[in-house]
Amino acid sequence: MSEIQVNKLSPQSGTTVTLGDSGDTFTIPSGATITNSGTATGFGEANTPSWFVRYGGEQSLSDNTLTKVTWNVEELDTSNAFASDKFTVPSGGAGKYIIFTSLLMKGDGDSRLIKTDLHIYKNGSSVAYTHDDFRANYSRQATRMVQTIQTLAENDYIEVYTAVDIDTGTPYYEGANFRGLFGGYRIITWVY
């Protein structure tokens, strides 16, 4: 093994310096710092684990009853961590996550919305929600979105719950044409 000790590497000609060849690995030892004062290209976050699911239809609810939302179309699940209508942080997946959900809520026929709730749950408790009260100005349907950033440990789990209160008939949430969706991804926080 050889060692080269220099304070600066500059290209002999042109403006590019190439380190190694395809397949080579460069190791940055523990305690070393990489400082970038220019433009970084070819770097980025993997943003995994990540998931994106939706409901491809219409689901009836009990009136004014908080109910776990079911998802029947899985568009993305990078770590096979989404099952039983919840995302569970897999081994090695702890970190900060951006989590979002959106849902179209309505009643059947001529029913009017009175109130709607949409929650993101972490380990069985609400950590982010939206609540709307339509009694002063009734609505036939409403699309709501909730988004949050959460620190998740391995085996933490994330679910979505909703409640729809209508004046008469049966409440629904609708997911056709991406009107009902739920997803998230781990983010990496860079410190400069």
Q: Kindly state whether residue 2 falls inside one of the protein's structural domains.
A: no
Instruction: Compute the distance between CA of residue 141 and CA of residue 58 in angstroms, rounded to an integer.
Output: 13
In the numeric block, which tokens belong to residue 27? Answer: 């190791």
pTM greater than the 0.85 cutoff? no
Phi and psi at residue 154, to the nearest 5°: -55, 140
Q: Kindly state whether residue 12 falls inside one of the protein's structural domains.
A: no
3-state secondary structure of 182: strand
Phi and psi at residue 176, to the nearest 5°: -55, 145
Q: Kindly state whether residue 44 falls inside one of the protein's structural domains.
A: no
Q: Kindly state whether residue 163 falls inside one of the protein's structural domains.
A: yes
* CATH number of the domain bearing residue 164: 2.60.120.40
Residue whose token pair is 């749950």 = 121
- pLDDT tens track of the chain, all 192 residues? 677 777 777 787 877 777 778 877 777 777 777 776 666 655 556 789 999 999 988 899 999 999 999 999 999 999 999 999 999 999 999 999 999 999 999 988 888 899 999 999 999 999 999 999 988 888 888 899 999 999 999 999 999 999 999 999 899 998 888 889 999 999 975 544
Can you give the residue range of the structural domain that contains 98?
Answer: 50-187
Instruction: Compute the distance between CA of residue 119 and CA of residue 122 in angstroms, rounded to an integer.
Output: 10
Instruction: Compute the distance between CA of residue 185 and CA of residue 149 in angstroms, rounded to an integer.
Output: 10
Q: Kindly state whether residue 39 falls inside one of the protein's structural domains.
A: no
Residue closest to 188 by CA, chosen among 50, 29, 52: 50
Q: Kindly state whether residue 14 falls inside one of the protein's structural domains.
A: no
How many domains does the structure of the chain reveal? 1
3-state secondary structure of 174: strand
Burial (Cβ within 10 Å: 0-12, 13-18, ≥19) of residue 99: buried
Q: Kindly state whether residue 31 falls inside one of the protein's structural domains.
A: no
In the numeric block, which tokens belong to residue 126? Answer: 């609400």
Residue 191 is predicted with a pLDDT of 47
In angstroms, how far is the first alpha carbon of the chain from the final one?
32
Q: Kindly state whether residue 42 falls inside one of the protein's structural domains.
A: no
Distance of CA 74 to the CA centre of its chain: 13
